[in-house]
Amino acid sequence: MRSRPLIGALAFLLMSSFVFLSADGFSYLSDPVELHILLQIKLPVLFTAILVGVAIALSSATLQVLLRNPLADPGIIGISAGASLMAAVVLLTGSITLSSTQWASLSYYMLPLACFVGAMISSFLIFALARKLQASMSSVILAGIGISTIAGAIIGWLYLYAPPQSIKNLSFWLMGSLHNTNYISLLFAAPLILIPAVLLMLQTSKLNWLYLGASAAQLRGLEPKKFERNVLILCALLIGTSVSIAGSIAFIGLLIPHFVRQFWGHDNRIVMPMAGLLGAGLLIFTASINEWVFEFIVPVSMLTASIGGPLFIYSLLKQQRLH
User: How far apart are the C-alpha atoms of 237 and 189, rounded to whole Å?
Assistant: 10
300 found inside a domain: yes
The predicted model scores a pTM of 0.86
128 found inside a domain: yes
Number of domains the chain is built from? 1
pLDDT tens figures, 235-291 = 888 888 888 888 888 788 888 998 898 888 889 999 999 999 999 999 999 888 888
8 A C-beta contact, residue 188 and residue 109: yes
| DSSP label at residue 294 | -
CA distances from residue 11 to 4, 14, 31, 207, 281 in whole angstroms, order as listed: 11, 5, 29, 26, 9
Q: Which domain holds residue 257?
A: 11-322
| DSSP label at residue 22 | T
- Residue 31: partners with Cβ closer than 8 Å, 6 or more residues away: none
User: How far apart are the C-alpha atoms of 156 and 257, rounded to whole Å?
Assistant: 31
pLDDT, mean over the chain? 81
CA distances from residue 1 to 5, 200, 290 in whole angstroms, order as listed: 8, 23, 35
4 found inside a domain: no
Q: What per-residue confidence (pLDDT) applies to 102?
A: 58
304 found inside a domain: yes
1 found inside a domain: no
53 found inside a domain: yes
Neighbours of 128 (CB within 10 A): 11
168 found inside a domain: yes
pLDDT tens figures, 73-131 = 787 777 888 888 888 888 777 655 555 555 555 666 677 778 778 888 887 787 777 67
Scanning 38-99, the segments in alpha helix (DSSP H) are 43-66, 79-97
Pick the more confident residue, 3 or 189: 189
CA distances from residue 196 to 50, 160, 233 in whole angstroms, order as listed: 15, 37, 9
pLDDT tens figures, 210-243 = 888 778 888 888 888 888 888 888 888 888 888 8
Query: Residue 241: which CATH number?
Result: 1.10.3470.10
| DSSP label at residue 60 | H
